[in-house]
Amino acid sequence: MGKTVLIVDDSNTMRKIVSRALRQAGIDFDEILEAGDGQEALAVLADNQVDVVLSDINMPNMNGLEFLKAKAEDPAIKDIPVVMISTETGADIINEAKSYGAKGAVKKPFTPELINATLGPLL
Amino acid sequence: MEYAKIIIESTREIFSSMIMLEVTSGDPFQRGHEKLNNSISGLVGLAGTIKGMLAIHLPDQTAITVTSAFLGMGVEEIDEDVRDAIGELANMVAGNIKSALDPKGSDIKLSMPSAVYGEEYSVDCLAHAQSITVPFELEGKTFLVELQIREEG
């Protein structure tokens, strides 16, 4: 059975690119949902069964780190795995994201193969 | 610090991996205050131990070509998709440059990307900043990646 993924990025372009990369990676997704920031992502998670989240870090309203912290406080969604996709992949920020529950990080620019290698073990 | 080399490697990597287009770099130069015509510029600010601005300047038709390849669909004019795509392109180039200059990721912050566009405009940044521009060629069209940078301390 296919999975449901949530892509969180304030750039509509990047959400389309990540969607395309997911399809090219050959991962079996039934549905791809989108959100423009962490606040929207929490709303989507409240209303949908999501199997994995791909989230940018730098976003307005609620950034990726704030989203991770808020998600960790909600028992209904805290165990949904989150992978960060961002230009920000310095060791300090990635360690901070992992301390808030992120399972990994993919640096932009990325290839479908890298997406597959990172997401595959989580699905 | 070989900023030109970082610009060239960053830009080539992004175009080949994300947009599946090969770009050729030309000789770096220092751009003056000349106006940009019928173009769009993606801009990202840098702050912290290194301050400055990363800009990518594309003529309209080049931006449309790049966006169409980026999105995998045809684009006809400088619309919201193009502005978003060019901003994101600048964001990724700036991110690569930041990774090269600050591997830990804690000394340099990037701003949200912006896009400026129109029939005639100028883009400038800091006074007393080192400025380097690299021209790139893509399918017979040229665009510029410009880094204005000042190291603090």
pLDDT at residue B129 is higher than 90: no
pLDDT at position B2, please? 87
In angstroms, what separates the C-alpha of B104 from chain A's closest C-alpha?
Answer: 4
By residue range, what is the domain housing residue A93?
Answer: 3-122
Instruction: Return mean pLDDT, chain B.
Output: 90
| Residue B84 to residue A11, Cβ atoms within 8 A | yes
| Residue B17 to residue A111, Cβ atoms within 8 A | yes
| Residue A94 to residue B96, Cβ atoms within 8 A | no
Strand-strand pairing, B24-25 and A3-8: unpaired
| Residue A13 to residue B85, Cβ atoms within 8 A | yes
Q: What is the pLDDT of residues A5-52, one digit of tens each?
A: 999 999 998 999 899 888 888 887 889 999 999 999 999 999 999 999
B123 vs A: CB within 8 A:
no
Say how many domains are in chain A.
1
> Angle A26-A30-A31 (CA atoms, 0-180°, nearest 5)?
110
Contacting B with CB below 8 Å, chain A residues are 10-14, 16-17, 20, 58, 60, 86-94, 107-111
**Residue B74 zone, left/alpha/beta (φ > 0; ψ -120 to 50; rest):** beta
pLDDT at position A90, please? 78
B9 vs A: CB within 8 A:
no
Locate the domains of chain B by residue range. Answer: 3-27+38-151
Q: Please determine, for the modelled complex, whether the ipTM score is greater than 0.90.
A: no
In angstroms, what separates the C-alpha of B71 from chain A's closest C-alpha?
Answer: 6
Instruction: Name residue B121's amino acid.
Output: Y
How does residue A97 score in pLDDT terms, banded at 50, 70 and 90? very high
B115 vs A: CB within 8 A:
no
pLDDT at position B12, please? 94
CATH number at residue A79: 3.40.50.2300
Non-local (6+) Cβ contacts of A22 within 8 A are A5, A29, A32, A112, A115, A119
Q: What is the pLDDT of residues B59-110, one digit of tens each?
A: 999 999 999 988 888 899 999 999 999 999 999 999 988 888 887 777 888 9
Count other Cβ atoms within 10 Å, centred on residue B66.
Answer: 26
For the domain spanning B3-27+38-151, the CATH number is 3.40.1550.10
- Residues in chain B within 8 Å Cβ distance of A90: 98-99, 102-106
Compare all CA atoms of chain B with the CA of A16 and give the residue at the minimum distance: B71
Non-local (6+) Cβ contacts of B81 within 8 A are A12, A13, B67, B71, B75
User: Out of A17, A89, A110, whose CB is closest to B99?
Assistant: A89
| Residue A109 to residue B17, Cβ atoms within 8 A | yes
Count other Cβ atoms within 10 Å, centred on residue A2.
Answer: 11
